Amino acid sequence: MARAGLAGAGAIRLAGVCKAGRIPRMSIGSLIRKVLGPRVFQHVGRAYRRIFVDVRKTAQVLAEIIPPGAHVVDIGGGDGEPLNCLLRLRDDITVTMIDISPVVGWMIEESLLGRVERLAGTSIRQYLQLGPRAIQAAVVSDVLHHVPPGQREAFLGDLRDLLAQGGCSLLAVKEFAPHGLRGRLGYLADRYVSGDANVRLIPPAELADLLRAALPGAHIEDTRLSRIDSPNYALRVSLATPGR
Ligand SMILES: C[S@@+](CC[C@H](N)C(=O)[O-])C[C@H]1O[C@@H](n2cnc3c(N)ncnc32)[C@H](O)[C@@H]1O
């Protein structure tokens, strides 16, 4: 999402720039990153993200629901800036970040790296192929609205297998609802700054339906994130029989 970093995975054609097809397609975010350089971009990116999400509030809510001593899989972990906050709040947890992007977790603070495994270029299916690994919690934060609607069922099917294989009983899904001015701006940022042509924001009720269909028997409840940082919200999914 644009809110997770200006340079998103998607790309749009910049009129007049890529016309000849010799210059690779680049999102506006990627172009800004190139112009500013990584150091300045990091600061600009943080300020930009704050327009849409308070990563500390998300981390507070996640910290409240992740079980003690958990090993957490952060699916679609991105740059890892929100994870820094969570790891600072919860010094008892360890995390594996996976992401289909060729880089993941590049903003994780040095002092926290010892508790983080970073698996770039790794889908849920590929992670499953590494063999059974015990996990106590899974986090999917601002990922699902980037998964094209036609692929969401398969994504959630893989997620169900991951939860079952890992014996995981807690899933947290954080999303950004298409509500109000902030919601509309968030969509435009994802679509035109990150350049993700597939982005489609998901209202909470629709997400709950998707999760109910993918994880029959799961208990789904809203968390307080929607009250403290709307239109951000997070659903807590408890699995009595993990992943089933
Ligand atoms: C908007 S970023 C969110 C990053 C981070 N979770 C956060 O909350 O800031 C979405 C991330 O999901 C990743 N992603 C998209 N589809 C994915 C998939 N099918 N499996 C794993 N990661 C995926 C993207 O590469 C991107 O890094």
Q: Which domains does the chain have, with CATH numbers?
A: 54-179+198-238 (3.40.50.150)
Q: What is the pTM of this model?
A: 0.87
What band does 69 get if pLDDT is binned at 50, 70 and 90?
very high
CB-ligand 1 contact for 75 (6 Å cutoff): yes
Residue nearest ligand 1's atom 10 by CA: 143
In whole angstroms, what is the distance from residue 60 CA to residue 86 CA? 7
How high is the pLDDT of residue 242?
Answer: 54
Percent of the chain residues past pLDDT 90, beyond the cut: 75
Q: Quick one: which H or E segment has residue 214?
A: helix 204-214
Residues 171-207 pLDDT 10s = 999 999 999 999 999 999 999 988 999 999 999 999 9
In this prediction, residues 60-84 reach a mean pLDDT of 97
* CA of residue 60 to ligand 1 center, whole Å: 20
Burial 217-236 (b: 16+ CB within 10 A, else e): ebebeebebbeebebbbbbb
In contact, 237 and 218? CB cutoff 8 Å: yes
How high is the pLDDT of residue 188?
Answer: 94
* CA of residue 132 to ligand 1 center, whole Å: 22
In this prediction, residues 46-53 reach a mean pLDDT of 90
